[in-house]
Amino acid sequence: MLNNLIIADGSSFSVSIYAGLGLAVGIIVIHFIVRGVSGLKRERSGRKLGMIEKLVYLGVLGCIGALGVSAFLPILTHGHMTGYYMLLHTVFAGAFLLMFTLYVLLWSEDHVFTCEQGGGNEGEKGSPFRRGSKICFWIMLLAGILAIGSMLVNMLPYLSTSQQAIMIDLHRYTSLCVVLTGIIHAYMVLIGKRSAH
Amino acid sequence: MQYKYLKKNHPFCTLIVSIILFAISGIAEGATPKTGSKSQHVHILKLYDENNVQIDPTAENPKPYSAINTCGQCHDYEKIQHGWHFNAAGDAVDKGRPGEPWIMTDDRVGVQLPLSYRGWKGTFNPKDLKVTQWEMIRNFGRHMPGGGIGEKYAEPSEDSKWKAAGNLRIDCLTCHTADRSFDHEAWGQMIKLNNMRWAPTAAAGLGKITGAGTSLPKDADIKEGEEPEIDPARMPKVEYDLRKFDKENKVFFDVVRKPPNNRCFACHTVNEGGVQEQPKWHSDQDVHIRAGFSCVDCHTNGIEHHTVRGFKGEVHPKAPLQAASLSCAGCHLGDESEQPELQDMAGRLGAPKPVHGGIPPFHFDKLSCTVCHSGPMPKDKVGTVQTSMAHALGEVSKTKTTEDMPNIASPVYLKTGDGQVEPHRVMWPAYWGLEKDGKITAIHPDQAYRELRRVFRKRRSSSSDDKEEPAYDGYTPEQITTALETLKKEFKDAGEPVYIAGGKLYKLVGDKDEEGKETMKLDVVENHPASEPYTWAFGHNVRPARQALGVNGCTDCHSKDAPFFYATSASLGPALNDPKTVTAPLLKKNHEWQGWDASLLGMWEQSFEGHKPFKFFAWSVFAILVLVGLRYALRGLGAVLSMSCCKGSKCSANSE
């Protein structure tokens, strides 16, 4: 059962990687086209991000990139992670843990939904982020907690092999979710907050 | 009317009735009688000789009993004789996973050759080496149950004395007796004396055997079914123990369907040596044995005697599913293959399902169950083993030591064909050979001895008759050089003589001395393909969970100098093994056997050194993340609940 689970999931997860990346790129391309057609222009609003916030964000993106490559590349090529890829993955996992926590602490307040977006207000200075960014952020946080938690639980000597296999699956898919929402979020941040002029 | 019909068709009816009667009698004759009970049938049997004549123990010069003909009165010998224990030389036999070979050892000329008819990679087929079946039986019949090359495939050869000694037929009692007086050593002694056909009688203790086939002339012929043509006075004789016979000349045999462990151990004992050596009373044996299992509970078979070997991926000719369910994973997990039926067969014999708490699952793809659970706990140096088959355990000797040849290293952890690491036993072949056109052919040890006896002999000065005898205490480079020169003179154009031992190939190459004179010097090639070790995986003894590798955590393996990766094995062979000379053994660490990158392992080990602080850090940071997430989740929930008041400039839920 365990072998079946892992092997079957290994191949199906490869499909999920391709599908997820395709979906993320698709969303970005469509958004970009729609934005161009509808003549949306850049609008700077809300407070400016500080240097530390930007560095932390770059750190998170870097870690997500490294983790994604070290995980997806061996899975897509060999069907599983092993050797230096695994080592790289665990090294960046530690860095990601730290950067992600800082990122959440520094960026979460700016990602609170405003009344217009269906949530609370955005304070005096206002949020520099659009609704799409905020959705991505909160999904990323939830997925990140699950991805990190599933691995931390696996490090405890309590779960059986089959339970660990479930946790690994959870880790895989939530991590994929973190990567995809991270990509979309980065795109949103890059294009900034824009509105019809 | 019916009567008339029958009368009218009398010849036809007679024919029909005859056919039915014939068929019934045929079925009855071919069928094996059964009791149908799980209770053991009491075997009080008449004894039959090899001519299928009942034995009268009081007769003058009675013949030895034949296990085939005695047991074969009821049991189907034809089916039995193709089983795994007998079929090595058969042509259409699946060779299966490499197993322990027969190791031909000759310490007179420093030879240890792994032999097998099964074609396992790294073994030598006795036929290629011109080792006759007679020799094989003479050398190894002591730990064979008879049959196979001793009988069915026995071929006449120049050196054989089959006609006088008789074939070594299957002795059912070798495995199926519960009688503790069954003497396996006597079986071996009979074979040494060329008393093959007397071996079952001697081993069963049915009588006393006097005389030896070795004293019979080479062309002596005792044809089966005929009276011997040679002088009966020179023939081996059996004097039956009449106390064992009843009034009808029947004998009680304590026969059991399931062979007791004691019988299996006669040929399958393994003793740890070297750094792993420990007194017998320190050993706990296999956990399954301690739990009350018999070897044959797992290594079972039907009447065809295709014994389940119990390894992953075994192709069993009769019951593949049944065999798969008896491997470690098959029994304890039921998940070894894609066969869903195996799931339902898991837990056989009360096998508990292991939790393996905290062990990352990919370990079970990389490692076999036996890595953590079998053999002795690995130490910084790889130990040695002595086995019944290789070291003739079971024969009483005062000179046996745990250093006796052949050298077998164990446990060495290396990868098998499917990429999984398994504990193995390793032996480095040692032999004299001839290299021609890049191909090396081994020289038969006896032939090597004939040529090299003068090179290796040593005078025994303490002996009154100044007798010379070859001495083996590890060959020096000088001795090897002289031996190769001797062989070169003898074999001339047949090829360049080489000596292979301890993972090295020794040969002579042209050189010039200080005066510029043509001379030969010893050249050593390390890791030559012909000197590669033969390895075979093993599964026993199984240790319980609390004695498994990894029970103390990841650092059992993932730490600096952990034996699983860093235990060193030395390519010990019959050469001197002196680190100061070219005979120095090759040293190899387990991770090199497994093909792991040492720098990668080093980095992993470093990462595990900081494992505990990292866990503390990770859990702390994770707690912060969860708290932050919870805070905003509650805030969001509050906002959603108070959505109705979110019409003005401020939301109540967000007012803080």
What are the DSSP calls for B50-112, one per residue? TTS-B--TTSSSPPPP-HHHHHTTTS-HHHHTTSTTT-TT-TT----S--PPEEEEETTTTEE
Cα separation of B586 and B525, whole Å? 11
CA distance B331 to B348: 6
CB pairs under 8 A, 24+ apart, for A186-191?
A186/A61, A187/A28, A187/A31, A188/A129, A188/A130, A188/A132, A188/A133, A188/A136, A189/A57, A189/A129, A189/A133, A191/A32, A191/A35, A191/A42
Report the gap between the CA of A78 and the closest CA in chain B (Å): 14
Residue B617: list chain A partners with CB under 8 A: 94, 97
Asked if the C-beta of A114 comes within 8 angstroms of chain B's C-beta atoms, the answer is no
3-state helix vs strand vs coil in chain B, percent to 5: 35, 15, 45
Taking residues B73-93, report their average pLDDT: 86
pLDDT for the residue B652: 43
As beta bridge partners, residue B255 has B177
d(CA B390, CA B402): 12
Task: Count CB-CB contacts under 10 A for residue B52.
Answer: 14
Q: Which of B361, B600, B636 sits opposite A161 (nearest CB)?
A: B361
Please name the residue of chain A whose CA is at the shortest distance from the CA of residue B334. A1
Is residue B506 over pLDDT 60? yes
Q: Is the pLDDT assigned to residue B81 strictly greater than 60?
A: yes
**Cβ within 8 Å, pair B625-A100:** yes
Percentage of residues in chain B having pLDDT higher than 90 = 47
φ/ψ (deg, to 5) at B524: -120, 125
Residue B453: band (very low, low, confident or very high) from pLDDT cuts 50, 70, 90: confident
Lowest mean pLDDT among B185-194, B316-325, B572-581: B572-581
What is the distance between the alpha carbons of residues A154 and A168, in angstroms, rounded to a whole number?
Answer: 8
Find tokens 């339970």 and name the residue. Answer: A163
Which of A103-117, B196-210, B322-336: highest mean pLDDT?
Answer: B196-210
Q: Whose CA is closest to B630, among A81, A103, A197, A108?
A: A108
Q: What is the pLDDT of residue A153?
A: 93
As a whole number of angstroms, the distance between CA B625 and CA B338 comes to: 41
Q: Which of A4-8, A109-113, B98-102, B361-365 has the highest average model confidence (pLDDT)? A: B98-102
In tens, the pLDDT along B22-52 reads 454 444 455 678 888 888 899 999 999 988 9
Q: What does the alpha-carbon distance between residue A154 and residue A166 come to, in Å, rounded to a whole number?
A: 10
Rounded to the nearest angstrom, the minimum Cα separation between B165 and chain A is 54
Is there a contact between A87 and B614 if contact means CB atoms under 8 Å apart?
no
pLDDT on residue B336 = 52
Asked if B97 has any chain A CB less than 8 Å from its own CB, the reply is no
Distance CA B139, CA B191 (A): 9
Lowest-pLDDT range of B15-19, B286-290, B578-582: B15-19
Res A121: pLDDT? 43
Q: In angstroms, rounded to a whole number, what is the distance separating the alpha carbons of residues B388 and B201?
A: 22
Cis peptide leading into residue B541 (ω within 30°): yes
Residue B338: which of A4, A119, A164 has the nearest Cβ?
Answer: A4
CA atoms within 13 A on the CB side of B83: 24
For every residue of B259-309, which 3-state class applies, written as one string?
A: CCHHHHHHHHCEEEEHHHCCCHHHCCCCHHHHCCCCHHHHCCCCCCCCCCC
Query: Three-state SS for B359?
Result: coil
Residue A168 vs residues A73, A150, B368: alpha-carbon distances, Å: 17, 7, 21
Nearest neighbour of A115 by CB, restricted to B597, B603, B646: B646
CB B382 within 8 A of CB B411: yes
pLDDT in tens, chain A (197 residues): 444 444 445 678 888 898 999 999 999 999 888 877 776 665 555 667 788 888 999 999 999 999 999 999 988 888 888 889 999 999 999 999 999 999 999 888 877 876 655 544 444 345 666 777 888 899 999 999 999 999 999 988 888 888 998 999 999 999 999 999 999 999 888 887 554 44
Asked if pLDDT for residue B468 goes beyond 70, the answer is no
Q: Span B273-297, mean pLDDT?
A: 88
Angstrom distance (rounded) from CA B498 to CA B432: 6
DSSP 8-state code for residue A11: H
How far, in Å, are B96, B154, B196, B219 from residue B157 at the CA level? 29, 9, 16, 12
Least confident of B113-117, B162-166, B588-592: B162-166
**Does B536 have pLDDT greater than 90?**
yes
CA B613 to chain centre: 46
A160 vs B92: which has the higher pLDDT? A160
**Shortest Cα distance from B621 to chain A (angstroms)?**
7
ipTM of the complex: 0.86
Residue B51, C-beta contacts closer than 8 angstroms, at least 6 positions apart: B63, B224, B225
Instruction: Classify burial at B161, counting beta carbons within 10 Å of its beta carbon; exposed 0-12, middle 13-18, buried 19 or more.
Output: buried
Tokens of B54: 């009942």
Distance CA B638, CA B646 (A): 11
- DSSP β-bridge partners for residue B432: B499
How far is CA B138 from each of CA A101, B134, B141, rounded to the nearest angstrom? 75, 6, 6
Give the pairing of strands B102-106 and B111-115: antiparallel
SS3 B358: coil
Q: What is the DSSP letter of B533?
A: P
Residues of chain B neighbouring A104 (CB-CB closer than 8 A): 625, 628-629
Give chain A positions within 8 Å (CB) of B634: none
Q: Which residues of B472-481 are buried (b: 16+ CB within 10 A; e: fewer)?
A: eeebebebbb
CB nearest A160 (choices: B356, B625, B629): B356
Looking at CA atoms only, how far is residue B349 from chain A in angstroms? Answer: 20
Model confidence at B656, pLDDT cuts 50, 70, 90, reads very low
Residues within 8 A of B (CB atoms), A 35-94 only: 80-84, 87, 90-91, 94
Count CB neighbours of B653 within 10 A.
Answer: 20
Using one digit for the tens of pLDDT, what is the confidence trace for B205-258? Answer: 999 999 888 888 777 776 655 556 667 777 889 999 999 999 999 999 999 999
Give the other-Cβ count within 10 Å of B268's Cβ.
17
Question: Looking at residue A99, what is its pLDDT?
Answer: 92
Amino acid identity for residue A174 in this structure: T
Give the angle B576-B580-B584 at the CA atoms, nearest 5°.
50
Q: What is the pTM of this model?
A: 0.85
Q: Where in B416-503 does DSSP place strands (E)?
A: 421-427, 431-436, 439-442, 457-459, 468-470, 496-501
Is A75 in contact with A17 (CB distance < 8 Å)? yes
User: Strand pairing of B496-501 and B431-436?
Assistant: antiparallel
Answer whether the bond into residue B563 is a cis peptide, omega within 30°: no
Give the pLDDT of residue B622. Answer: 93
Phi, psi dihedrals of residue B475, rounded to the nearest 5°: -85, 135
Residue entry with tokens 């196979």 = B148
Q: How far is residue B329's CA from residue B322's CA, in Å, rounded to a whole number?
A: 13
Cα atoms found within 13 Å of the Cα of residue B87, Cβ hemisphere only = 19
Identity at A73, one-letter amino acid code:
L
Residues of A in contact with B649 (CB under 8 A): 121
Residue of B nearest to A138 (CA): B629
- The secondary element (H helix, E strand) that includes residue B386 is strand B383-387
Distance CA A86, CA A74 (A): 9
| Portion of chain B with pLDDT greater than 70, in percent | 88
Q: pLDDT tens digits for B626-654?
A: 999 999 888 888 877 776 555 544 444 44
| Identity of the residue numbered B640 | V
What pLDDT sits at residue A178? 94
